[in-house]
Amino acid sequence: MDRNTLFGMSTGAAVMFAFGIVWLLLGLFRGRPSPRWLRVSLVVVGVTLATSIAVLTMRAFKLPFDLVPPTPQQLALNREIARHFYLVLGFELGSIFLAVVVLNLIHYPDYILPGIALIVAVHFFPLAALFKAPVYYGTALGGCAIALVGFFMADAGLRQKVVGLSFGGLLWATAAWIVTVGLSATPKIGPNLRPM
């Protein structure tokens, strides 16, 4: 696996990890109180996942640079991928803003969290194709299921907790999958910068 691919994987895993923290905190501190064992477990899992992402990033740093410059076709493809990514991101952010405004206007603010979860989940479908990452299809389907369960929950406090914790867990599971694939595809790199 080359340096750029590994950096892309570690960046993707770090973004999933960071947004997973946000969702988990929403689940922990909104709605009903969370048991102590759950909070401690999430800290342990979070530290382990963060360490794994750091190891993957360090392995990427230790890989040699590609000495062959990218072709004009590769550069054009990279620009096209970036353009599509920003389009998807822009559509996602615009949809989230619209959902928050509409749900507040119609007096359903307790459904904002599942609404955002659904939008974020759907945005993984085009990202899966764009980055050729089949795991994102699983993230998208799992996120849609979590959001739909949230929409049908009558208890607003339980809805916040279930959607927040479940969606955060899903993002962390995706990050863990990316890290596992990245670490298993790269050998350990010793101090002499050669694979061991």
82-86 average pLDDT score: 94
Output the pLDDT for position 187: 66
8 A C-beta contact, residue 167 and residue 16: no
* Span 115-149, pLDDT tens digits: 999 999 999 999 999 999 999 999 999 999 999 99
Q: Total structural domains in the chain? A: 1
Note whether residue 179 is domain-resident.
yes
Residue range of the domain that includes 166: 3-64+74-185
Note whether residue 190 is domain-resident.
no
User: How would residue 106 be classed by pLDDT, with cut points 50, 70 and 90?
Assistant: very high
Burial 36-63 (b: 16+ CB within 10 A, else e): eeeeeebeeebeebbebbeebbebbebb
Decide if pLDDT at 91 tops 70.
Answer: yes
* Span 148-159, pLDDT tens digits: 999 999 999 899
Output the pLDDT for position 177: 97
* pTM, rounded to two decimals: 0.89
SS3 195: strand
CB-CB neighbours of 127 under 10 Å:
19
28-46 average pLDDT score: 90
Note whether residue 195 is domain-resident.
no
8 A C-beta contact, residue 143 and residue 124: yes
Tokens in use for 78? Answer: 């990279």
Decide if pLDDT at 9 tops 80.
Answer: yes
Note whether residue 80 is domain-resident.
yes
Decide if pLDDT at 101 tops 80.
Answer: yes
**Which carries the bigger pLDDT value, residue 6 or residue 170?**
170
Note whether residue 33 is domain-resident.
yes
Output the pLDDT for position 33: 81
Task: For residue 107, give the DSSP letter.
Answer: T
Output the pLDDT for position 89: 95
User: How would residue 188 be classed by pLDDT, with cut points 50, 70 and 90?
Assistant: low
Note whether residue 9 is domain-resident.
yes
User: How would residue 103 be classed by pLDDT, with cut points 50, 70 and 90?
Assistant: very high
Output the pLDDT for position 60: 86
Note whether residue 192 is domain-resident.
no
Note whether residue 78 is domain-resident.
yes
11-33 average pLDDT score: 92
